[in-house]
Amino acid sequence: MTQHEYNASSITVLKGLEAVRKRPGMYVQGGTGVDGYHQLLTEIIDNAIDEGLAGFATEVTVTFHEDGAATVTDNGRGIPVDVMKSEGRSAIEVIFTELHAGGKFGQGAYKVSGGLHGVGSSVVNALSSYLDVTVNKDGKLHNIRFEGGPVTKPLHVLGATPADVDWATKVTFKPDAAVFHEFENRFDYDRIRRRLRELSYLTGLRIVLTDERKDLHGGEVKKEVFHEVGGIATFARHLVLDDGKLLYDQPIVMKGTASDVEVEVAFIHSSAYASTILCYANMITNRDGGTQLTGFKTAYTRVLNKYARDKNLIKSGNPVPSGDDLLEGIHCVISVKLGDPQFESQAKVKLLNSEAQTAVNAIVGEKFAEFLEENPRVGKIIVEKAAEAARAREAARKARELVRRSNPLDNDDLPGKLADCSSQDPTESELFIVEGNSAGGSAKSGRERRFQAILPLRGKILNVEKVELNKILKNAEIRAMIGAIGAGVEGTGDKMHFDLSQLRYHKIVIMTDADVDGSHIATLLLTFFFRYMRPLIEQGYVYIAEPPLYKLSWGRGKGNEVYLYTNEELRERTQKLTKEGKKFEIQRYKGLGEMNAEQLWETTMNPETRSLKLVTIEDLMAAGEAFEALMGTEVTPRKQFIQENARFAEISV
């Protein structure tokens, strides 16, 4: 190595590290905030873990120092300290100074690090005020020191390894406060603890966490050891928050290798309704799962469904459990290790490799089926839990539908049959509730569209005295009225109250034929208003239209005809014409439909010429007897009453 070569490569290296310091956000996921700060530590930890995954280290330690630095060690092979021929520098120097040098070292084993987090050890170095590495190799301690990138103490031998040194690689670094300056920069004990514990479940390694920042722990150094020999089975078990709710004792574990993917799945069921499924690829959390999750769900559902069917565990008539029902109350960890993990994004929330799906599907498909055959008691418990979930889901759906169907106010739409007025001002707006479609048609063409709305009703409406609210509210005619009037109904349930402030018309006019059926319909409508919209009547918003009973005409030409509304009028008029010796003609209007649009407007709807009867609560009370007769269940008095009172108005006023 010549002096010239050394300088040339050093300059390239320094330029790289300088770029990292200039734009840390480009190199560290999480930027220069609290996440990026912790990412530095994670990167160093992951490198130590990798040595364990490769099968060379059994223990990893993490220590927080009082000055804000952290130390990570492993008891593996030790980072190589010999000079790399290709680089002309020691391997250790290359690792900590060249961007993306990670891949050049270590082979075969799955790695958590190796650029997976977008940070290399060199990036950690560049963003640390100092980074100090000691390697215990061949009975000697080798040390090298960097400050913000450049080497400040070249690799040198410290001396013979003391007897109490039980690690192979030790890295101490302190994130540069000048880079991470926007928050109180301290390592978060709980955050790192959580990750280390997770790593111990996933790897089986012994991990020791020590916090020398005594002020944070009541003046004591805090030390915790994570050594989860039970692996992911214990992990799954710990996901159950309330042990009392476990449906069976031992987690079910499935392990194996397929399509070059190492698969480990463990789960246990509790009586909880929620499910927790944690997914990992190479020890990295995939929050949104991905292919390993899909593989698991497919196999799990397939195996469980087949088992339930084969063993006749779902009784006929019961709903078939859905995929979600089968997963209710599951606490599951899925961990895959694979050569070249691909993720959806930098954040690695989702695994993409299809071989992971194939592998998990195959391993779970085989091992879970095997387990169920060998443990029928547990199999039955799991299927029963799913069957119960399916029943509950079905019951909830029915309840929801019932509520929805029985509550007309869920539907804010105006009824289709309503020909609404153009005015939005309730004080000037009128709603004509018209008997029959043909009269409804005349009323629609005859009306003053600006302030008059028409709602035609088909035939008789429901007798609300005899039917329960549930059914009343299912009736199309009633629903149309409620929708048009807009103020709800009095009753029970969520939205079941009458709110006058929502009233869409200040005149609600009942317009029916002047015959027995018309009277009956008017009575039925009034009964409905009286029972379910009483304030309408109390506040004087309900009227009865008065169509003429007769048209009297005499002689020829205009002005020689008149509409008559009562029998007295008719008697007087005809008598007078007969004194006078005039010939006349009487037309009796039996139904509204006999009038054309213009006549209906002129005689019944035009505010200038019409007469409306206001319905008062006293009228209704006084007519109580009539109500009884009309509305009661007995047929005979009703028939009799109607025959005696051809016109409802005569009893209501």
| 45-64: contacts with ligand TTJ (CB under 6 A) | 47-48, 51
Nearer to ligand TTJ, 121 or 452 (CB): 121
Q: How far is the CB of 103 from ligand TTJ (least distance, A)?
A: 11
Number of residues located near ligand TTJ, criterion CB under 6 A: 15
Distance separating alpha carbons of residues 292 and 228, to the nearest angstrom: 23
DSSP lists the bridge partners of residue 209 as 62, 224
Site for ligand TTJ in 183-212 (CB under 6 A): none
Nearer to ligand TTJ, 114 or 379 (CB): 114
Q: How many CB atoms lie within 10 A of CB 462?
A: 17
Among 44, 205, 360, 409, binds ligand TTJ (CB under 6 A): 44
CB of 361 to ligand TTJ, least distance (A): 34
| Smaller CB separation from ligand TTJ, 47 or 143 | 47
Is 515 an active-site residue? Answer: yes
Judged by CB, which is closer to ligand TTJ: 136, or 652?
A: 136
Indicate which residue of 288, 499, 515, 628 is catalytic: 515
Residue 171 in 3-state DSSP? strand
Q: Would you say 74 or 93 has its CB closer to ligand TTJ?
A: 74
Minimum distance between the CB of residue 278 and ligand TTJ, rounded to whole angstroms?
26
Contacts of 409-412 with CB under 8 Å at 24 or more apart are 409/482, 409/488, 409/489, 409/495, 409/496, 410/495, 411/479, 411/483
**Is 215 known to be catalytic?**
no
DSSP calls for 395-412: HHHHHHHHHHHH-GGG--
Instruction: Identify the CA nearest to 547 among candidates 512, 521, 584, 503.
Output: 512
Given the complex with ligand TTJ, which of 51 and 435 has the nearer CB atom? 51
- 75 versus 357: smaller Cβ distance to ligand TTJ: 75
| Cβ 67 to ligand TTJ shortest distance, Å | 19
Burial-class residue 273 by CB neighbours within 10 Å (0-12, 13-18, 19+). exposed
Cβ 155 vs Cβ 144: under 8 Å: yes
* Residue 545: strand pairing partners: 612
State how far the alpha carbon of 210 is from the alpha carbons of 124, 196, 225, 375, 630, in Å. Answer: 21, 12, 9, 43, 89
Q: Among 171, 480, 485, 642, which residue sits at the site for ligand TTJ (rule: CB under 6 A)? A: 171
Which of residues 106 and 290 has its CB atom nearest to ligand TTJ in the complex?
106
Q: How far is the CB of 106 from ligand TTJ (least distance, A)?
A: 4
Catalytic-residue membership of 513: yes
568: annotated active-site residue: no
Q: Which residue is nearest to ligand TTJ (CB)?
A: 47
**DSSP class per residue in 553-590:** EESSSTTSEEEE-SHHHHHHHHHHHHHTT--EEEEE--
Q: HSE on the CB side for 290, CA within 13 Å?
A: 23
Min dist CB 301 to ligand TTJ, Å, is: 42
Q: Three-state SS for 330? A: strand
As measured in angstroms, the least distance from the Cβ of 156 to ligand TTJ is 19
Asked if residue 251 lies in contact with residue 283, where contact means CB atoms within 8 angstroms, the answer is: no
Tokens standing for 231? 């692996």
Catalytic pick among 147, 324, 384, 517 = 517
Q: Comparing C-alpha atoms, which of 307, 280, 274, 313 is closest to residue 296?
A: 280
**Please, what is the Cα angle at 536 between 652 and 589, to 5 degrees?**
40
Beta bridge partners of 587: 551
Answer yes or no: are the C-beta atoms of 262 and 336 closer than 8 Å.
yes
Catalytic residue among 176, 228, 430, 513: 513
* Contacts to ligand TTJ from residues 62-121, by CB under 6 A: 72, 74, 76-77, 79-80, 105-106, 121
Task: Give the Cα separation of 233 and 252 in Å (integer).
Answer: 7
Nearest residue (CB) to ligand TTJ, 69 versus 419:
69
Per CB under 6 A, contacts with ligand TTJ among 4-33 are none
Is the separation of the CB atoms in 421 and 429 below 8 Å?
Answer: yes
- Cα–Cα distance, 494 to 498 (Å, whole number): 12
The answer to whether the beta carbons of residues 334 and 278 sit under 8 Å apart is yes
Q: How far is the CB of 92 from ligand TTJ (least distance, A)?
A: 9
Stretch that binds ligand TTJ, among 40-48, 250-258, 478-486, 607-615 (CB under 6 A): 40-48
Distance of closest approach, residue 142 Cβ to ligand TTJ, in angstroms: 13
Of the listed 93, 198, 435, 477, which one is catalytic? 435
Pick from 549, 546, 592: nearest CA to 437: 592
Q: Active-site residues: which are they?
A: 435, 513, 515, 517
Q: Contact residues for ligand TTJ (CB under 6 A)?
A: 44, 47-48, 51, 72, 74, 76-77, 79-80, 105-106, 121, 169, 171
